Each structure stands twice: as structure tokens, then as C-alpha cells.
Structure 1
């Protein structure tokens, strides 16, 4: 079952997921939201739309803009509406 962890904390875990561009997107209800706050990064993908970024806090550390979602994706990415992905380049481990 896919799982995202960082700093000894499980951030998301679910048998249901979407794989897009090599990233596992977890359903909103599988995410441990008490570790998340709104990030500052802004990005608009030409085919997915405007992304919302999140900072993650766990174990006394903060990981800025380490997760993202597309709350209102463009039609081509509607399958990831309500899903969250994680930045593995920032130390987050995503196992499938």
C-alpha cells in the first residue's frame, strides 16, 4: 500500500491512489492534515492547472512547499482533484 513519510511521520497512506508524471497522488482523506499548513509556492501547470502547495511540520522540523494538490484542475487532470502529492527531492519518502 503506498505510503508517504517524512521525519519519522506517516503523512499519507492509501490503497487508492493516482500516478501522474511519476508522482503518487494520495486521496485527501488519507492525508494526516494536522502536519500541513499553506505553503508559499505558486505554480500553474499548462495541463493540470493551478497548484496549491503545503508546508509540512513533523518531529520539530518544517519542510517548506513539500506537498501539492490541484483543488480545481483542468479537465485533463480531473482524476487528481482532491489528491495530494509529495516532493521526494525534499526528503519525503513515497513507497508504493
Structure 2
């Protein structure tokens, strides 16, 4: 599967390596082209996944705010709910499309 923004592949991995959590596909950290991501100061804490790290996605000269997110240090108790450790897996939304 691929996370694509305007024809640029931001992340790519076999579907078997991704996790689907609450309707979002999460890519393993090693599959993400981090040169397109810029840490965002936006803060959010999920009641069961913990503190979220947002990223803005670089599209040429344009920086699209908060189009990717990750949970760097989720609580260990949440691993049972997800089925494995998903620390630093990255999900995308809005203009970043996840396709087969």
C-alpha cells in the first residue's frame, strides 16, 4: 500500500505490514519517507493510545499542517487492543491518500 500526495509516495509497505486502527492505516516507521514530514507543535492525547505526535507534510514549497500522525510512546496496555506494538507507526489523512 502507498500513502501518496500529488503523485509523490510518502510511505509504502505491503498491506500485511500495516495496522488498521480506528479506520486509519498505520505504516511502519521504516516504510515512511521522513524527508516529507516535519514535526508539528499540535498536541493531542488519546484516552487509550496516549500522546500523539502530528507531522506536517511537505508538498514542494507548501507545508500541509497536521496531515500525518503517530504515537511514539503508546501505553503498553493498548498493544493488546491493537494486537501488537505500534509505536511510531504513521497514519495519514486529508490530501494524503492511502491506496493499494
Q: How does the TM-score come out when normalised to structure 1?
A: 0.89
SS in structure 1 at match of 2:40? strand
SS in structure 1 at match of 2:85? helix
Structure 2 distance, partners of 1:86, 1:21, is 13
Instruction: Quote how far apart the aligned CAs of 1:95 are.
Output: 1.2
Answering whether residue 96 of structure 2 is matched by residue 92 of structure 1, we say yes
Root-mean-square deviation over aligned CA pairs: 1.3
- Decide whether the 8 Å contact of 1:8 with 1:59 is kept in 2: no
Structure 1 distance, partners of 2:7, 2:42, is 25
Instruction: Quote how far apart the aligned CAs of 1:60 are.
Output: 2.4
Unaligned runs of 5+ in 2: none
Instruction: Quote how far apart the aligned CAs of 1:82 are.
Output: 2.4
SS in structure 1 at match of 2:35? helix
**Count of paired positions:** 93
Instruction: Quote how far apart the aligned CAs of 1:80 are.
Output: 1.5
Structure 2 distance, partners of 1:91, 1:55, is 11
Match for residue 17 of structure 1? 18
Which 4+ residue blocks in structure 1 deviate beyond 3 angstroms?
A: none
Unaligned runs of 5+ in 1: none
